[in-house]
Amino acid sequence: MVSPIASLGFANPGAVAKGAHVAKPPDGGTSFADLIRGVAKETIEASKIGEASALGALTKETSLVDVVTAVTNAEVALETAVAVRDRVIAAYQEIIRMPI
C-alpha cells in the first residue's frame, strides 16, 4: 500500500535537506515547516483511524455510522493536505516568476 503522505508529495515530512537552515520565528511561534509537518501528521492519523474503523466494521466491532464518519474525516484531512500542498507550489511558482 502506498503511504498517503507519499502521494501528497511529502515523502518524509521529518526530513530536512542536508545543510539546510530551518529558521524559527522570532516570536517563538510555529514555523512554516512545523505547520506543514502538522498537516501531514494529521492526515496520516485520520487515514489510520478510517482504516481501523473499516476493519472494525468487517469484524462487526464498529457500527457503519462510525465507519462513514471516520472515512469522511480522513477524506477531509486529505483534501486539506492537498489544498495546502497546491498553495505552497503555487506560491513557490509565483516567487520563481518574480523579476530579480
In a domain, 42, yes or no: yes
The 10s digit of each residue's pLDDT in 15-34 is 444 555 555 566 667 788 88
In a domain, 27, yes or no: no
What range defines the domain where residue 66 resides?
33-100
In a domain, 59, yes or no: yes
Cell of 70: 471516520
Over the chain, what HEC string results? CCCHHHHCCCCCCCCCCCCCCCCCCCCCCCCHHHHHHHHHHHHHHHHHHHHHHHHHHHCCCCCHHHHHHHHHHHHHHHHHHHHHHHHHHHHHHHHHHCCC
In a domain, 22, yes or no: no
Q: Which residues contact 56 (CB under 8 A, 6 or more apart)?
A: 62, 66, 67
In a domain, 60, yes or no: yes
Q: Domains in the chain: how many in total?
A: 1
- Regions in the chain scoring below 50 on pLDDT: 1-17
Evaluate if pTM is beyond 0.95: no
In a domain, 2, yes or no: no
